[in-house]
């Protein structure tokens, strides 16, 4: 009988992560959670600061066999021209979307028992635009930086808009999906590696964003 696959979610209090937890545990995965808030899960680590408490995270992982690490940390506070981020929100955007997954994965990669790292990215990283370029740049930096880390295996999943409280003030473009659907996509792509898209539609959309002039993109 095969042992159950261990999964560790970081940023476990996010809406997508909580949907993922319910789905994965129903499929007999063993899901361990790490976040800055208390969660009623079977094996949870509560911390105050992800980067400053990396040794505590390492100790937590040392008792988990061959885990898949999934970063669910995310922050979005800009929606121009309706919402211009403050200096604090700009700093938090970079810290949550780039610094936390980058520094943690770099540090945790010393643990050769980790099976894979999975990062949640966005089509906004393809060509950051005025509407949310701080967010797009934070995701872009993460994707590019991962190439220089000594990660044995990793997966970057690019999504379009996912309906959450954080994105509720944004318009819903074509191919917008629910948090539950996003969680299901992650679960189905656990065995993939490299850069992948949440769907073929998002892949085509990314080509559109990359190839066509800005004035056409803004129109559609």
Of residues 174 and 14, more confidence is placed in: 14
Range with the lowest mean pLDDT among 57-66, 161-170, 178-187, 192-201?
Answer: 161-170
The sign one gets for the Cα dihedral 30, 10, 14, 184 is negative
Over residues 12-33, the pLDDT tens digits come to 999 999 999 999 999 989 999 9
Range with the lowest mean pLDDT among 12-26, 131-145, 150-164, 195-209?
Answer: 195-209
| pLDDT at residue 99, rounded to an integer | 97
Mean pLDDT of 143-163: 91
| pLDDT at residue 219, rounded to an integer | 60
| pLDDT at residue 217, rounded to an integer | 60
| pLDDT at residue 76, rounded to an integer | 87
Mean pLDDT of 29-41: 95
Question: 3-state class of 74 per DSSP?
Answer: coil
| pLDDT for residue 1 is more than 50 | no
Chain Cα centroid distance, residue 142: 10
Smallest CA-to-CA distance from 186 within 20, 28, 62, 49 is with: 20
Q: How would residue 220 be classed by pLDDT, with cut points 50, 70 and 90?
A: low
Residue-wise DSSP of 75-144: ----BTTTBPPPHHHHHHHHIIIIIHHHHHHHHHTT-TT--EEEEEEEGGGTS--GGGHHHHHHHHHHHH
β-pair partners for 121: 158
Mean pLDDT of 22-48: 94
Mean pLDDT of the chain: 88
In angstroms, rounded to a whole number, what is the distance separating the alpha carbons of residues 137 and 131?
12
Question: Residue 180 burial (CB < 10 Å; 0-12/13-18/19+)?
Answer: middle
Bond prior to 158 in cis (omega within 30° of 0)? no
| Choices 3.40.50.620, 3.40.50.970, 2.40.50.140, 3.40.50.720: CATH for 6-219 | 3.40.50.720
Between the CA atoms of 197, 168, 79 and 218, what dihedral angle is there, to the nearest 10 degrees? 60
In angstroms, rounded to a whole number, what is the distance separating the alpha carbons of residues 33 and 127?
32
| pLDDT at residue 98, rounded to an integer | 97
Domain range list for the chain = 6-219
Range with the lowest mean pLDDT among 73-77, 173-177, 194-198?
Answer: 173-177
Smallest CA-to-CA distance from 16 within 183, 158, 145 is with: 183
Query: What's the predicted TM-score (pTM) here?
Result: 0.89
Dig out the tokens for 168 from the structure: 């509720």
| pLDDT at residue 91, rounded to an integer | 93
* DSSP assigned state of 9: E
| pLDDT for residue 2 is more than 70 | no
Range with the lowest mean pLDDT among 29-38, 68-77, 170-179?
Answer: 170-179
In angstroms, rounded to a whole number, what is the distance separating the alpha carbons of residues 200 and 213?
22
């Amino acid at each position: 009988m095969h042992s159950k696959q261990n999964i560790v979610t970081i940023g476990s209090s996010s809406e997508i992560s909580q949907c993922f937890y319910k789905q994965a545990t129903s499929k007999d995965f063993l899901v361990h959670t790490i976040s800055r808030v208390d969660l009623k899960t079977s094996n949870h680590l509560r911390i105050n600061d992800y980067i400053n408490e990396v040794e505590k995270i390492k100790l937590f992982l040392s008792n988990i066999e061959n885990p898949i690490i999934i970063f669910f940390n995310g922050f979005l506070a800009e929606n121009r021209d309706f919402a211009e981020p403050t200096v604090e929100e700009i700093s938090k955007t970079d810290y949550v979307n780039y610094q936390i997954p980058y520094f943690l994965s770099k540090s945790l990669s010393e643990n050769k028992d980790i099976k894979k790292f999975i990062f949640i990215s966005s089509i906004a990283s393809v060509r950051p635009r005025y509407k949310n370029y701080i967010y797009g740049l934070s995701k872009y930096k993460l994707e590019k930086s991962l190439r220089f880390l000594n990660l044995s295996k990793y997966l970057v999943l690019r999504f379009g808009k996912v309906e959450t409280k954080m994105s509720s003030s944004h318009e819903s473009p074509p191919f917008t999906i629910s948090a539950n659907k996003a969680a299901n996509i992650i679960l189905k792509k656990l065995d993939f590696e490299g850069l992948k898209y949440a769907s073929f539609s998002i892949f085509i959309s990314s080509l559109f964003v990359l190839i066509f002039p800005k004035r056409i993109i803004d129109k559609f």
